[in-house]
Amino acid sequence: MINCEQASTICNKKQYKEATLLEQINLSLHLFICKACSSFSRKNSKLTVLCNKADLQLLSEQEKAKMKETIERSI
Amino acid sequence: MTENKLNPDSWVDQYADYLFNYAVARVSNGEIAKDLVQETFLAGLKSAKNFQGAAAERTWLIAILKRKVIDYYRKINSKKGKAEVRMTYNNQSDSAGDWLEENVADPFSTLENDEIENEELGLAIQECIAKLPKKQSSVFVMKTIQGFSTEDICNELGINPSNLWVMVHRARTSLMGCLNENWFKL
């Protein structure tokens, strides 16, 4: 049997599809008996859904460096 | 109330992504959005002496960016003939229906709302990520948004996988709390 700490790690891995089959089985067994972890797991999946839905955009590091340069030049 | 101050040195690190998301949702073009963010920073510098400290730095920058977006649309619309809305009738399909009927908005569609909501959600998430400690936020961003593999991140940041998962865990837990406050309570 796995403990809650291990369960949360597997749950996080699962959000990035990096949990192995054995881990997933262990997790679902644990979620079956542990209320706190099932609540955490639910919220965690929700966060993943939200992040995917938001489709966040980022500026690359080079672009940021260029911006910084331009700002410094005009100070 | 504490008076807000401007520190342009940290603008790019703190607000570039936030402003960029805001702009990209409005002009739907990465290149233009990037230029608008850049212009916003420069305009902010120019008028920094007019900043009275009543608003937070970010609110102030967003206000400038809003003007920039409006200016951008004004500029592209001022070119002659561009201001009109063009509609093309799609006659590739063999639909023999009424043009007007086909172009009318679907009254049951909620897609427009989805887009607005997603944009606000994006900004809320961005805001929450900005509140995380630097290390956690960079791990979370690399993993979730940029989609790097665990191995790549570990090599890049010089940490081991269990370290990484601990940081991901902390980041996710704080994000859940933060979004609970800022997003679901609205």
CATH number at residue B35: 1.10.1740.10
| Cβ-proximal residues to B19 (8 Å cutoff; 6+ apart), any chain | B37, B40, B61, B62, B65
pTM equals 0.71
Rounded Cα distance between B135 and B51, Å, is: 31
What residues make up the domain containing B171? Answer: 117-184
**Chain A nearest CA to B108, separation (Å):** 21
Instruction: Work out the angle at residue B24's Cα, subtended by the Cα atoms of residues B131 and B52, and round it to the nearest 5 degrees.
Output: 55
Q: What is the pLDDT of residue A42?
A: 92
Question: Region B93-103: what's the mean pLDDT?
Answer: 64
Rounded Cα distance between B36 and B72, Å, is: 8
Q: What is the pLDDT of residue B94?
A: 56
- Are the beta carbons of B16 and A50 separated by less than 8 Å? no
* Residues in chain A closer than 8 A to B122 (CB atoms): 54-57
Kindly report the average pLDDT of chain A as a whole number.
Answer: 87
Q: Concatenated DSSP letters for chain B?
A: -PPP---GGGHHHHHHHHHHHHHHHHH--HHHHHHHHHHHHHHHHHTGGG--SSS-HHHHHHHHHHHHHHHHHHHHHHSTT-SSPP-----SS---S-HHHHHS--TT--HHHHHHHHHHHHHHHHHHHHHS-HHHHHHHIIIIIS---HHHHHHHHT--HHHHHHHHHHHHHHHHHHHIIIIIT-
| Confidence band for B1, pLDDT divided at 50, 70 and 90 | very low
| Confidence band for A61, pLDDT divided at 50, 70 and 90 | confident
| Confidence band for A27, pLDDT divided at 50, 70 and 90 | very high
**Chain B nearest CA to A57, separation (Å):** 6
Whether residues B13 and B72 fall in one domain: yes
**Residue type for B99, please?**
W
- Are the beta carbons of A71 and B121 separated by less than 8 Å? no
Which tokens is B51 given? 């900043």
Our CA dihedral for B163, B167, B172, B178, rounded to 10 degrees, sits at 160
Whether residues B71 and B126 fall in one domain: no
Query: Would residue B48 count as lying in a domain?
Result: yes
Query: Would residue B167 count as lying in a domain?
Result: yes
Which carries the bigger pLDDT value, residue B71 or residue B83? B71
- The pLDDT of residue B10 is above 70: yes
Kindly report the average pLDDT of chain B as a whole number.
Answer: 81
CATH for B151: 1.10.10.10
Query: Would residue B93 count as lying in a domain?
Result: no
Q: What is the pLDDT of residue A65?
A: 82
Question: What is the total count of domains within chain A?
Answer: 1
| Confidence band for B22, pLDDT divided at 50, 70 and 90 | confident
| Confidence band for B113, pLDDT divided at 50, 70 and 90 | confident
Q: What is the pLDDT of residue B18?
A: 87
What residues make up the domain containing A28? Answer: 4-74
Distance of CA B160 to the CA centre of its chain: 31
Question: Region B100-107: what's the mean pLDDT?
Answer: 70
Rounded Cα distance between B62 and B70, Å, is: 12
| Cβ-proximal residues to B139 (8 Å cutoff; 6+ apart), any chain | B153, B157, B164, B167, B168, B171
Domain boundary among B78, B101, B126: B78
Nearest residue in chain B measured CA to CA from A40: B173
Question: What is the total count of domains within chain B?
Answer: 2
